[in-house]
Amino acid sequence: MPKARSGSTLSDVAREAKVSVSTASRALNGLAEKYRISSSTAQLVRDKAEKLGFRPSQVARSLRLKRTGLLGIVVPDLSNPFFSSIAQSVTVSAESDGFSAILADSGGSVEKEQKLIEQLTARSVEALVVCPVGLKFAHLESTREQGTPLVLVDRCKDKSSMVQVTSDHTTGTQQAMQLLIGNGHRKIGVLQGIAGTLPSDQRLLGVKEALAKVGVNLDPALVEGNQFTYESGYQSARNLLMNHPEITAFFAMSTPNAFGAYQAAMELGRRVPEDLSLVCFDDVKFANFMQVPLATVAQDVPELGRLAASLVAEQIRSGKAPVQKMHKVPVTLLTRASVGKVSPS
Amino acid sequence: MPKARSGSTLSDVAREAKVSVSTASRALNGLAEKYRISSSTAQLVRDKAEKLGFRPSQVARSLRLKRTGLLGIVVPDLSNPFFSSIAQSVTVSAESDGFSAILADSGGSVEKEQKLIEQLTARSVEALVVCPVGLKFAHLESTREQGTPLVLVDRCKDKSSMVQVTSDHTTGTQQAMQLLIGNGHRKIGVLQGIAGTLPSDQRLLGVKEALAKVGVNLDPALVEGNQFTYESGYQSARNLLMNHPEITAFFAMSTPNAFGAYQAAMELGRRVPEDLSLVCFDDVKFANFMQVPLATVAQDVPELGRLAASLVAEQIRSGKAPVQKMHKVPVTLLTRASVGKVSPS
DNA sequence: CTGAAAGCGCTAACAA
DNA sequence: TTGTTAGCGCTTTCAG
């Protein structure tokens, strides 16, 4: 029995089966009956292909068909569970639609993001799912205009004709704020993510609206922070608690922000939830394991990815962008022990 | 100024510059001086390419050069921070070596893993980095034998000729055990991961060896669990604590295992670290945020990925596998509050 | 210094 | 029912 070569090509199979390459191609692509190939030859071809360990070259096929079956994903930080979870659901959905995903990590840099997108289009990805760094969108709009279906996830752009998927930040934040307000809190510090990005801005909007409903104006001095990181949360919370000891609660825009705030509170002798309540807009699953379980606005992260994947798949199939551009995925408020009634002053 | 088409091809550029495609190709690939192309024509070609927004088709180039610049990564669960962190460092390293990474999630199934690897090789990836499910390796060995450089990460196979990267499980575990033993613990429960996988088995070996050094034989009845998950940790710890109340400490093989154990301990009224000490072999960064900071054997996860990437890059470059097959990456013991002296009985 | 032509592996008219 | 052929876009001999 001849050793199965790894590099056997279609013409090898054809020669071995003593047919032309077209016949071989047809037989192997399930077009046997369409072309009324005798079942004996069809079977022969399949046998020979099997024997030679024939694997059609996707590269050649891509060149010929102008379809690569490749999807590009760009995220700012794959070590962040929020983004890796999105990457996972996009990857898995794409897989089930017959696509493979090329993954790229922009490291939070717009320049790198742009460079990666260029590389990916040069590789003829059929569509892109991008969690943008979120501050500039020109390169994204232009690649879409050049014909590559492109869906934005998470950091969207407010009034834009691009197809976008994100959580319902404003509503989720309002729910969280209502929880605080319902427990008597009015002096609420806000630990902000990256100002200027839609998630951060919409959440801030939610804060304002929720306060407005009970006749309170958000004091800008109670808003601090500029990253979704632990450090940003820690520093901001520390500053706020020292400069505004009247604060009775924090709304944190990310789990790391909240972890940082918790640490700062501990160090300043404020107990959670007795002396300080804490809610966060969530991006990871571990909030449950904090010293005090952390009340959370939970995003449906897998759904963000799934929806994005199905939107690009649809665009590839139909050749045109869907009518609905902005997709808001619902969030869920998880009431947990980190929120308490405001303590009598 | 003519609108830059997205689909312009090399021959478009050539026609526009009134040169042959070969000249155009050479000019654009920095072969101008090698072929002594007049700098004027070279510049002209570059200008026209720029004007047309020419992007060379990587597909066509791959077909011609038989080099795709593609790397395949397969992990069992991308939503697990351990694996996403590996995926990240592999992706980023590969990127800096001029490769793009196709990412695939096997969902912990050997069959899917095998199927994905076949798909990836059909796409002509130049090498594979696989975090295998860890129970069967035949398909991995055979793809490597068919000529695709392949590096295994984490779940390795003990005596195998494959190139492998994993943490130094045994040494790390011994350090953790010495911490417990040094604090007087002798009745130590072991919360096991997936038995039969190398990480799990090597850690168990480390437990045995550390105990042996102080003249204690590991009681098999104190070993329980079969997954690296929270649930496995919870159930096993619960069983062990109920059936063996003499246990004063747990060695958990993963952070989720430890979280589960912590929960079980709480429910059974055992405080950490007063009534029960807890150390874990770590795979995520959040152990710090547990109610009681968790003593941890920290793996250098990014290094696992980086090393794997550089090993495949080297194989691609040299065409042959490196001489050293098994690479053990050092780990670090982080002593934290979850370990205390054994309480007087 | 530049061009013509072959060919990577595959699919799909078009022919027979 | 099967074969012939052109060509996807690129690189690279080989021939000027």
pLDDT tens, residue by residue, B40-65:
889 999 999 999 999 999 999 999 99
Same domain, B106 and B161: yes
pLDDT of residue B293: 81
Which chain A positions have a beta carbon within 8 Å of B286's beta carbon?
284, 286, 289
Residue A148: name the closest of A110, A123, A112, A121 by CA.
A121
pLDDT of residue A287: 55
What residue type is A192 in one-letter code? Q
For residue B294, tell me if it sits in a domain: yes
State how far the alpha carbon of B304 is from the alpha carbons of A328, B143, B298, in Å.
37, 22, 12
Residue nearest to nucleotide D13 (CA to C1'): B22
For residue B96, tell me if it sits in a domain: yes
Same domain, B82 and B112: yes
**Cβ atoms of residues B53 and B6 within 8 Å:** yes
Domain count, chain B: 3
Phi (first) and psi of residue A74, to 5 degrees: -125, 125
pLDDT of residue A290: 65
In chain B, which ranges are continuous DSSP H helix? 10-17, 21-28, 39-52, 58-65, 81-96, 110-122, 138-145, 169-182, 198-213, 230-243, 255-267, 301-318
Put simply, whether A57 touches B (Cβ < 8 Å) is: yes
Are B91 and A104 in contact (CB < 8 Å)?
yes
**Contact flag, residue A18 CB and nucleic strand D, below 7 A:** yes
- Residues ≥6 apart with Cβ < 8 Å to B159: none
Segment A252-269 mean pLDDT: 92
**Contact flag, residue A38 CB and nucleic strand D, below 7 A:** yes
Same domain, A175 and A291: yes
**Contact flag, residue B20 CB and nucleic strand C, below 7 A:** yes
Confidence tier at A129 by pLDDT (50, 70, 90): very high
**Å between B217 CA and nearest CA of chain A:** 34
Are B286 and A291 in contact (CB < 8 Å)?
no
Q: Alpha-carbon distance B165 to B150, whole Å? A: 11
**Cβ atoms of residues A238 and A195 within 8 Å:** no
Same domain, B285 and B194: yes
Segment A300-310 mean pLDDT: 96
β-partners of residue B277 are: B249
Q: Alpha-carbon distance A50 to A79, whole Å? A: 41
Segment A102-131 mean pLDDT: 94
The residue range of the domain holding A43 is 10-56
Q: How far is the CA of B43 from the C1' of C2 (A)?
A: 15
Same domain, A239 and A326: no
| Cα-Cα-Cα-Cα dihedral sign, residues B61, B64, B65, B70 | positive
For residue A342, tell me if it sits in a domain: no
Tokens 């050539």 correspond to B14
Domain of A22, CATH number, reads 1.10.260
| pLDDT over 80 (residue A191) | yes
Between residue 27 and residue 86 of chain B, the positions with Cβ below 7 Å from nucleic chain C are: 35-38, 41-42, 60, 63-64, 66
Same domain, B52 and B38: yes
pLDDT of residue A270: 94
Q: Is B317 left (phi over 0), alpha (psi -120 to 50) or beta?
A: alpha
Same domain, B177 and B148: no
Same domain, B201 and B320: no
| pLDDT over 80 (residue B83) | yes
Per mean pLDDT, which range of A36-45, A78-87, B67-76 is the poorest? A36-45
Q: How far is the CA of B201 from the C1' of C7 (A)?
A: 52
Which of A299, A321, A339 finishes a domain?
Answer: A299
Two structure tokens written together for B174: 């011994």
Q: How far is the CA of A62 from the C1' of C3 (A)?
A: 29
**Contact flag, residue A15 CB and nucleic strand C, below 7 A:** no
Put simply, whether A81 touches B (Cβ < 8 Å) is: yes
- What percentage of chain B carries pLDDT values higher than 90? 75
Same domain, A128 and A174: no
**Cβ atoms of residues B275 and B216 within 8 Å:** no
With CA of B21 and C1' of each nucleotide, the nearest comes out as C3
DSSP letter assigned to residue B290? B
DSSP letter assigned to residue B218? -
Residue B222: name the closest of B210, B206, B198, B204 by CA.
B204
| pLDDT over 90 (residue B192) | yes
Same domain, A221 and A289: yes
Phi (first) and psi of residue A219, to 5 degrees: -80, 115
CB-facing half-sphere around the CA of A269: CA atoms within 13 A? 2
- What percentage of chain B carries pLDDT values higher than 70? 95
Which chain A positions have a beta carbon within 8 Å of B59's beta carbon?
59, 62-63, 68, 123-124
> CB contacts < 8 Å between A and B, how many?
132
- Exposure string (b/e) for A199-210, b if CB count within 10 Å is 16 or more? bbbbbbbbbbeb
For A166-188, how does the pLDDT look when each residue is reduced to its tens digit (9 = 90+)? Answer: 999 999 999 999 999 999 999 99
What residue type is A210 in one-letter code? A
For residue A1, tell me if it sits in a domain: no
With CA of A54 and C1' of each nucleotide, the nearest comes out as C9
Q: Alpha-carbon distance A87 to A308, whole Å? A: 10
Are B100 and A118 in contact (CB < 8 Å)?
no
Q: At what angle do helices B230-243 and B255-267 cross, to 10 degrees?
A: 40
Q: Chain A 144-173, CB below 8 Å of chain B: which residues?
A: 146-147
B331, B332, B337, B342: CA torsion to nearest 10: 70
Percentages (nearest 5) of helix, strand, coil residues in chain B: 45, 15, 40
Closest residue in A to B106 (Cα–Cα) = A92
**Å between A123 CA and nearest CA of chain B:** 5
| pLDDT over 80 (residue B284) | no
For residue B93, tell me if it sits in a domain: yes
Phi (first) and psi of residue B59, to 5 degrees: -65, -50
For residue B1, tell me if it sits in a domain: no
Same domain, A178 and A268: yes
Two structure tokens written together for A132: 């943008």
Q: How far is the CA of B36 from the C1' of C1 (A)?
A: 6
**Cβ atoms of residues A9 and A57 within 8 Å:** yes
Question: Would you call A329 helix, strand, or coil by DSSP?
Answer: strand
Segment A334-345 mean pLDDT: 83
For A15-25, how does the pLDDT look when each residue is reduced to its tens digit (9 = 90+)? Answer: 989 998 999 99
- Exposure string (b/e) for A145-159, b if CB count within 10 Å is 16 or more? eeebbbbbbbbbbee
Residue nearest to nucleotide D12 (CA to C1'): B22
Put simply, whether B131 touches A (Cβ < 8 Å) is: no
Q: Alpha-carbon distance B184 to B187, whole Å? A: 9
Rounded to the nearest integer, the mean pLDDT of chain A is 91
pTM for the predicted model, two decimal places: 0.90
Which chain B positions have a beta carbon within 8 Å of A116's beta carbon?
95
Residue B91: name the closest of B71, B109, B106, B108 by CA.
B71
Q: Nucleotides of chain D within 7 Å of a protein C-beta? A: 1-5, 7-13
For residue A338, tell me if it sits in a domain: no
| pLDDT over 80 (residue B335) | yes
Same domain, B141 and B263: no
Domain of A74, CATH number, reads 3.40.50.2300
Q: Chain A 242-261, CB below 8 Å of chain B: which residues?
A: 259
With CA of B35 and C1' of each nucleotide, the nearest comes out as C1
State how far the alpha carbon of A249 is from the alpha carbons of A219, A291, B76, B220, in Å.
14, 17, 40, 49
Confidence tier at A30 by pLDDT (50, 70, 90): confident
Between residue 2 and residue 61 of chain B, the positions with Cβ below 7 Å from nucleic chain D are: 7, 9-11, 21-22, 25-26, 28-29, 54, 56-57, 60-61
pLDDT of residue B7: 77
**Contact flag, residue B184 CB and nucleic strand D, below 7 A:** no
**Å between A62 CA and nearest CA of chain B:** 7
Closest residue in B to A85 (Cα–Cα) = B79
Question: Would you call B315 helix, strand, or coil by DSSP?
Answer: helix
For residue B114, tell me if it sits in a domain: yes
| pLDDT over 50 (residue B2) | no
Q: Alpha-carbon distance B287 to B265, whole Å? A: 16
Put simply, whether A107 touches B (Cβ < 8 Å) is: yes
Are B102 and A107 in contact (CB < 8 Å)?
no
Which chain A positions have a beta carbon within 8 Å of B105's beta carbon?
88, 91-92, 95
Are B122 and A68 in contact (CB < 8 Å)?
no
Please provide the distance, in angstroms rounded to a whole number, between the alpha carbons at the two ends of chain A. 88
